[in-house]
């Protein structure tokens, strides 16, 4: 009986899914996950399963880490007994809400191009006997499915594990169930809000801007959204505490932070909300409803303005802009880019960094992170300082150029690995000398030209104004030296032209590299300024940095010398690491 | 019967096509020739209903196609200039998708897809993703997608680009066969020899205006020359030999 019913359901589903509308929905879902945009370029196609696993992981990991905080034995060891878990949970609940919003918002930004039907969809679907209205609704259903899937996936693990961890001290199942439901509703609503907020931005831009201007500004807007998301993630340290301390009416900044609304909603349902949280909780559900309505309206207008008119837009020829001859370019050619290879490839790399959307997005995200870290460092520097000079000579302020430098160099090194359009690299394969060994010097020049001049100028001027010639020269010199050494280290055995090689395969030492980067950051942007801060009072101590610099210079130098010729050849394809390799001695 | 009546298309204030009129009867294969920017693609897009004319109408069997685009497109098979396909679908999946969206019955659809893939020599690669296909293979997929529902009107925009010699020959014969079957074929191309061979009539555009429209034989008789020479005479004021000589001169120039 049950089998027959199931078979009937499956048969009907099969029948229904073959209808044109549902075929389009399936097509759009696949498109959202597996590729948008107009080109066939190989993007970061990780596969649906892996993407969903990666999205679900942060919530799960963080829940497990919280065992340390909520475990009864550890609480007993710390002497914190008889705590109200529903009150203690506030910062962690806020963290999960922010995490959920950040991850979902990041997905929306990542799939920005694929959410909306594009030229390819137009060329394939519009000439068929289907109305543009059907295409609109099919894409809308696909988007709603995506929202549901992401909201579920991002929060599913934490919705089970986090209540289990918090409820470890409670004997009643009802506590766990209630907590889990409230948490799940809070984080899912936050996810939905974040997705539709990004979607509204996209839709509003499409509705307001002409198509060409939208395409132009799209990358910048995405960058701003990414910076906002990174900044939101950084609020997890300070916001819960300041919400807890606030008495009286809710401060105005909390009304601008949707993450606070959802935290307030959860705490109100748990009956642990003060007046501030009660006031904020009233904004959560109307906020979600408003953002969904705005998103859908903007989507409809944007669809009408952009998708339905794609043929007209594509046929309008753009007005060519006159290329400007840059004096800076001429100067660079004379001073730094001596060979034709360097002159040509430097311009290629430079233009790719500034024009390729994927590369700009990664750089903006890391730029956002450095902005947040710099703001934090500045705040810490001025918190206990009595004068400008004292603040600027503190470890926190001294660390700012090191933070920017480290993240700038690492982000450029990282984006060099992301290919731009591999089908186009034939020209380099054809023209470049495989044994030229010019890629590493080129990459070094690109990194240093993009990171150092403005950073050194600002650092020097700021310290000249606040701390005098001596400190300004010393600090700038140290930042410059450290930047050169770090660039040398990150370019060890670099033998590809940026953006022209396939994505690196996962290697066993990838985790070690990741840990090294974190350790390197501590050494570079925390320990160095600490040492410098103490050494500025006794400048002779600076000599202590010379052996460190010498080691940092010698390692890449030695490795470069010991590299065999075959490993110096220019590559366009990363080969996977083979576990077993035949020596073929007989050949 | 497909008719273009006083078609005009302007982009902002720039005219792309001006006052274009022609009619096509069943069995006619109409070739459309013209240099780059002459308005061929705009004409094709207006005939497919992708673009709305600024003035004038496209009529199919006496009805304005814009009144019921869906019904019109049921009769239409279109091969666009660029093979802009979904790279993550396999060839078979793409054709099945298009067949389903055209409302073709499933068993018939699968049989047709298999047979057509076989005939276009794509059957062995049917389960490979389109991303791995060559340009010619993508073009063949587009051709199959256009013909598999047996439409009455065919609009081909540079259909031979990227096709190998055998596929191109098959396609040329196919176009003639379609004409004999009473289908309407609008064939846009730069390749004059192919137009001369497969089309019964020719329409020559220049700067959005029709400068000649007649049967292939009559067009050739205008100057008593081949279609290529007639086309060059009508369309281009350029002395091609002198331009070629100038190019060689520039190639040989040494840097200052």
Output the pLDDT for position B5.
Answer: 92
B140 burial via Cβ count (<10 Å: 0-12, 13-18, 19+):
buried
Is A30 within 8 Å of chain B by CB?
yes
Q: How far apart, in Å, are the Cα atoms of B227 and each of A253, B156, B194?
A: 75, 20, 11
Contact B86 A27 (CB under 8 A): yes
Q: How far apart, in Å, are the Cα atoms of A77 and each of A83, A338, B230?
A: 14, 66, 97
What is the enclosing helix (H) or strand (E) of B213?
Answer: strand B209-215
CB A355 within 8 A of CB A499: no
3-state secondary structure A253-267: HHHCCHHHHHHHHHH
CA closest to A135 among chain B residues: B101
Please, what is the average pLDDT of chain B?
87
Residues of A in contact with B101 (CB under 8 A): 20, 23-24, 125, 128-130
Output the pLDDT for position A323.
Answer: 55
Output the pLDDT for position A41.
Answer: 47
Residue A49: CB partners within 8 Å, gap ≥ 6? none
Is residue A407 over pLDDT 90?
A: yes
Pairing state of beta strands B153-157 and B76-79? parallel
Contact B86 A130 (CB under 8 A): no
CA closest to A18 among chain B residues: B100
Length reported for chain B: 256
Q: A23 to chain B nearest CA, in Å?
A: 7
Residues of A in contact with B106 (CB under 8 A): 18
Output the pLDDT for position A97.
Answer: 92
Is residue A206 over pLDDT 50?
A: yes
Closest to B159 measured CA to CA, from B167, A75, A398: B167
Contact A18 B106 (CB under 8 A): yes
Order of strands across the sheet with B184-188?
A: B76-79, B153-157, B184-188, B29-33, B201-206, B209-215
A284-339, pLDDT tens digit by residue? 999 999 999 999 999 898 888 888 878 777 555 555 555 555 777 777 777 788 88
A347-362, pLDDT tens digit by residue? 899 888 888 878 887 8
Is B45 within 8 Å of chain A by CB?
yes
**Among the partner residues B50, B86, B103, nearest to A120 by beta-carbon distance:** B86
Is ipTM over 0.90?
A: no
CB A303 within 8 A of CB A135: no
Q: Most A CBs within 10 Å: which of B72, B83, B100, as the mutation test of the A interface?
A: B100
Closest to B78 measured CA to CA, from B32, B33, B142, B35: B142
CA closest to B14 among chain A residues: A316
Q: What are phi and psi of A494, to 5 degrees?
A: -85, 120
Contact B86 A31 (CB under 8 A): yes
Q: A413 to chain B nearest CA, in Å?
A: 29
Output the pLDDT for position A39.
Answer: 47
Residues of A in contact with B87 (CB under 8 A): 35, 40
Is residue A458 over pLDDT 90?
A: yes
Contact A315 B41 (CB under 8 A): yes
**Helical pair A395-415 and A528-535, crossing angle rounded to 10 deg:** 150
Is A117 within 8 Å of chain B by CB?
no
pLDDT category at A187 given cuts 50, 70, 90 is very high
Output the pLDDT for position A490.
Answer: 92
Is B87 within 8 Å of chain A by CB?
yes
Domain edges within chain A: 46-313, 350-417+442-489+515-557
A537-577, pLDDT tens digit by residue? 788 888 888 898 999 899 888 888 888 777 778 888 876 65
Is A133 within 8 Å of chain B by CB?
no
The model carries a pTM of 0.73
Is residue A42 over pLDDT 50?
A: no
Say whether B148 sits in a helix, a strand or coil: coil
Contact B84 A30 (CB under 8 A): no
Distance CA A119, CA A300 (A): 17
Task: Report the 10 Å Cβ neighbour count for B12.
Answer: 5
Q: B105 to chain A nearest CA, in Å?
A: 10
**Among the partner residues B16, B69, B101, nearest to A315 by beta-carbon distance:** B16
Is A329 within 8 Å of chain B by CB?
no
User: What average pLDDT score do residues A245-273 get?
Assistant: 85
Mean pLDDT is lowest, of A96-100, A211-215, B197-201, for A211-215
CA closest to A19 among chain B residues: B100
Q: Where are the alpha helices (DSSP H) in chain B?
A: 40-48, 69-74, 91-101, 106-119, 135-147, 165-180, 192-198, 216-223, 227-235, 240-251
User: What average pLDDT score do residues A476-505 get?
Assistant: 90
Say whether B33 sits in a helix, a strand or coil: strand
Residues of A in contact with B98 (CB under 8 A): 124, 128
Is residue A247 over pLDDT 80?
A: no
Eight-class DSSP state of B158: S
pLDDT category at A43 given cuts 50, 70, 90 is very low
A338 vs A120, more confident: A120
User: What average pLDDT score do residues B124-133 get?
Assistant: 90
User: What average pLDDT score do residues A231-246 get?
Assistant: 80
Superfamily grouping for domain B2-75+151-251: P-loop containing nucleotide triphosphate hydrolases (3.40.50.300)
Q: Which residues on adjacent β-strands are paired with residue B90?
A: B129
A385-403, pLDDT tens digit by residue? 788 888 888 998 999 999 9
CB A204 within 8 A of CB A342: no
Output the pLDDT for position A78.
Answer: 65
Is B142 within 8 Å of chain A by CB?
no
Contact B100 A129 (CB under 8 A): no
Distance CA B88, CA A425 (A): 21
**Among the partner residues B71, B73, B100, nearest to A127 by beta-carbon distance:** B73
Q: How far apart, in Å, are the Cα atoms of B142 and each of A28, A60, B158?
A: 20, 46, 12
Distance CA A92, CA A237 (A): 10
Q: Most B CBs within 10 Å: which of A121, A125, A315, as the mutation test of the B interface?
A: A315
What is the enclosing helix (H) or strand (E) of B153?
Answer: strand B153-157
B22-54, pLDDT tens digit by residue? 999 999 999 998 888 888 889 999 999 888 899
Q: Which residues on adjacent β-strands are paired with residue B215?
A: B201
Residue A274: CB partners within 8 Å, gap ≥ 6? none
Closest to A237 measured CA to CA, from A63, A87, A380, A94: A94
Output the pLDDT for position A112.
Answer: 78
pLDDT category at B12 given cuts 50, 70, 90 is confident
Closest to A499 measured CA to CA, from A412, A421, A408: A421
pLDDT category at A76 given cuts 50, 70, 90 is low
Q: B52 to chain A nearest CA, in Å?
A: 9
User: What average pLDDT score do residues B100-123 get?
Assistant: 89
The upper half-sphere exposure of residue A237, i.e. CA atoms within 13 Å in the direction of its Cβ, equals 6
A356 burial via Cβ count (<10 Å: 0-12, 13-18, 19+):
buried
């Amino acid at each position: 009986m049950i089998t027959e019913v199931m078979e009937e359901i499956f048969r009907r589903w099969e029948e229904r899914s073959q209808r044109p509308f549902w075929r389009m929905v399936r097509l759009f879902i696949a498109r959202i996950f597996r590729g948008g945009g107009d080109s066939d370029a190989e993007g970061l196609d990780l596969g649906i399963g892996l993407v969903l696993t990666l999205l679900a992981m942060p919530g799960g990991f963080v829940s497990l880490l919280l065992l340390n905080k909520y475990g009864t034995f550890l609480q007993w060891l710390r002497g914190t007994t008889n705590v109200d878990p529903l009150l203690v949970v506030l910062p962690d609940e806020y963290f999960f809400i922010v995490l959920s919003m950040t991850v979902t918002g990041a997905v929306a930004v990542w799939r920005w191009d694929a959410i909306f039907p594009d030229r390819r969809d137009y060329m394939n679907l519009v000439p068929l006997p289907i109305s543009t209205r059907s295409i609109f609704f099919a894409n809308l259903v696909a988007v709603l499915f995506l929202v549901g899937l992401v909201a579920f996936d991002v929060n599913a693990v934490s919705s089970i594990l986090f209540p289990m961890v918090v409820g470890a001290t409670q004997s009643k199942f009802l506590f766990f169930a209630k907590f889990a439901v409230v948490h799940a509703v809070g984080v899912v609503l936050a996810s939905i809000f974040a997705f539709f907020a990004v979607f509204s931005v996209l839709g509003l831009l499409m509705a307001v801007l002409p198509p060409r201007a939208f395409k132009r500004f799209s990358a910048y807007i995405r960058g701003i959204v990414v910076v906002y998301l990174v900044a939101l993630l950084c609020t997890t340290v300070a916001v819960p505490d300041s919400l807890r301390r606030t008495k009286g009416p809710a401060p105005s900044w909390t009304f601008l932070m949707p993450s606070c609304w959802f935290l307030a909603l959860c705490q109100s349902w748990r009956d642990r909300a003060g007046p501030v949280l009660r006031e904020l909780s009233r904004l959560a559900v109307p906020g979600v409803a408003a953002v969904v309505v705005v998103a859908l309206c903007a989507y409809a207008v944007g669809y009408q303005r952009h998708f339905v008119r794609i043929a007209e837009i594509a046929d309008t020829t753009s007005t060519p802009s006159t290329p400007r001859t840059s004096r800076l370019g001429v100067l660079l050619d004379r001073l730094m880019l001596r060979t034709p290879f360097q002159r040509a490839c430097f311009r290629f790399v430079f233009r790719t960094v500034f024009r390729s959307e994927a590369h700009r997005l990664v750089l903006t995200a890391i730029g956002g992170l450095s902005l947040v870290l710099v703001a934090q460092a500045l705040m810490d520097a001025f918190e206990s300082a009595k004068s400008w000079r004292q603040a600027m000579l503190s470890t926190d302020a001294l660390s700012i150029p090191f933070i920017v430098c480290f993240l700038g160099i690492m982000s450029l090194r990282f984006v060099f690995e992301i290919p731009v359009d591999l089908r186009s690299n034939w020209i380099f394969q054809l023209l470049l000398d495989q044994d030229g060994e010019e890629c590493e010097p080129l990459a070094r020049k690109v990194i240093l030209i993009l990171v150092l001049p403005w950073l050194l100028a600002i650092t020097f001027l700021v310290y000249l104004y606040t701390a005098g010639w001596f400190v300004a020269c010393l600090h700038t010199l140290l930042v410059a030296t450290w930047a050169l050494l770090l660039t040398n280290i990150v370019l060890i055995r670099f033998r590809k032209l940026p953006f022209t090689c396939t994505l690196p395969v996962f290697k066993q030492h990838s985790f070690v590299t990741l840990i090294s980067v974190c350790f390197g950051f501590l050494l570079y942007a925390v320990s160095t300024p600490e040492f410098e801060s103490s050494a500025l009072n006794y400048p002779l101590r600076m000599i202590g940095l010379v052996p460190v610099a010498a080691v940092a210079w010698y390692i890449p130098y030695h490795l470069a010398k010991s590299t065999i010729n075959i490993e110096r050849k220019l590559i366009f394809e990363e080969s996977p690491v083979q576990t077993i390799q035949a020596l073929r001695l007989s050949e | 019967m497909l008719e273009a009546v006083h078609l005009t298309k302007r982009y902002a204030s720039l005219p792309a096509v001006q006052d274009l009129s022609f009619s096509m009867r069943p069995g006619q294969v109409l070739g459309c020739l013209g240099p780059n920017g002459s308005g061929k693609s705009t004409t094709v897009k207006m005939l497919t209903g992708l673009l709305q004319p600024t003035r004038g109408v496209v009529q199919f069997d006496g009805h304005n196609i814009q009144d019921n685009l869906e019904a019109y497109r049921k009769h239409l098979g279109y091969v666009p200039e660029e093979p802009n396909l979904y790279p993550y679908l396999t060839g078979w999946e793409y054709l099945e998708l298009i067949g389903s969206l055209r409302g073709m019955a499933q068993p018939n659809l699968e049989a047709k897809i298999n047979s057509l893939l076989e005939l276009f020599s794509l059957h062995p690669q049917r389960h490979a993703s389109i991303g791995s296909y060559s340009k010619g293979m993508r073009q063949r997929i587009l051709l199959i997608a256009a013909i598999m529902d047996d439409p009455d009107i065919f609009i081909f925009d540079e259909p031979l680009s990227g096709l190998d010699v055998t596929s191109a020959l098959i396609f040329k014969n196919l176009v003639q066969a379609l004409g004999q079957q009473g289908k309407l074929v609008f064939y846009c191309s730069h390749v004059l020899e192919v137009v001369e061979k497969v089309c019964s009539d020719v329409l020559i555009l220049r700067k959005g205006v029709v400068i000649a429209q007649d049967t292939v034989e009559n067009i050739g008789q205008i100057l008593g020359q081949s279609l290529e020479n007639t086309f060059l005479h009508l369309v281009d004021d350029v002395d091609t030999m002198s331009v070629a000589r100038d190019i060689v001169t520039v190639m040989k120039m040494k840097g200052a």
